[in-house]
Amino acid sequence: MSLISELIASLQILPGVGPKTAQRLTFHLLQKDPEGGQKLAETLALAIDQVGECDVCRTLTENNICKLCANPHRSDRQVCVVESPADIIHLESATDFNGRYFVLHGKLSPLDGVGPEALKLEKLVDLLSSPECHEMIIATGSTLEGETTAQYLAHLAEQGGIKATRLAHGVPLGGDLEYIDNSTLAHAFASRTNL
């Protein structure tokens, strides 16, 4: 296999990158931006070698403890549980949440053989057992697996005497009811709150 073919095939491991996109990226890097391609290769190799999980929350970091866990100004009263490190970035940019995070690196999926032990929840139990912790905010997706995970986490919180809350799902801000799918609308209607 030629180096060009190997690069095209290698780029296809990225989500959403098919053969055509991989080919376009390959020729762009080789023809138009070889310096950028070299920098990409070096940075990727360094990141793979040096990035690991935070010892506390399990997000990705270059250090043993990530900057959010190392921040003494963050509150220990709330722990927000997310599926991936990318979720933390979204929540940090969209909210004023000032508590702690815990990254599951997945969700429960019995059909795929992913049970609670695969999510390594021991560190979450440690966070929840802190005397300062009063609430676990469950921020998993609204898929069947996300809902299953949320139910399991709520049970875990209940066992520890911690309040469990779930992110609201439903009608988006500025959304018209006529454009919302039936399952989202049904979920929003069932989860309505008092004003």
The domain ranges of the chain are 3-50, 66-166
Which pLDDT score is estimated for 78? 96
pLDDT band at 158 (very low <50, low <70, confident <90, very high): very high
Instruction: Return mean pLDDT, the chain.
Output: 91
Which pLDDT score is estimated for 108? 93
Rg, C-alpha atoms of the chain: 21
What's the one-letter identity of residue 112?
A: D
Please give the CATH topology (third level) of the domain spanning 66-166. Dna Topoisomerase Vi A Subunit; Chain: A, domain 2 (3.40.1360)
What's the one-letter identity of residue 104?
A: L
Whole-number Å distance between alpha carbons of 73 and 103: 20
Please give the CATH topology (third level) of the domain spanning 3-50. Helicase, Ruva Protein; domain 3 (1.10.8)
pTM of the shown model:
0.85
Question: How many angstroms separate the Cα of 97 from the Cα of each of 47, 50, 73, 75, 83?
Answer: 28, 28, 12, 9, 17
Which pLDDT score is estimated for 195? 58
Structure tokens at 123: 């560190």
pLDDT tens digit sequence for 165-195: 998 877 777 777 777 788 777 777 777 766 5
Which pLDDT score is estimated for 111? 85
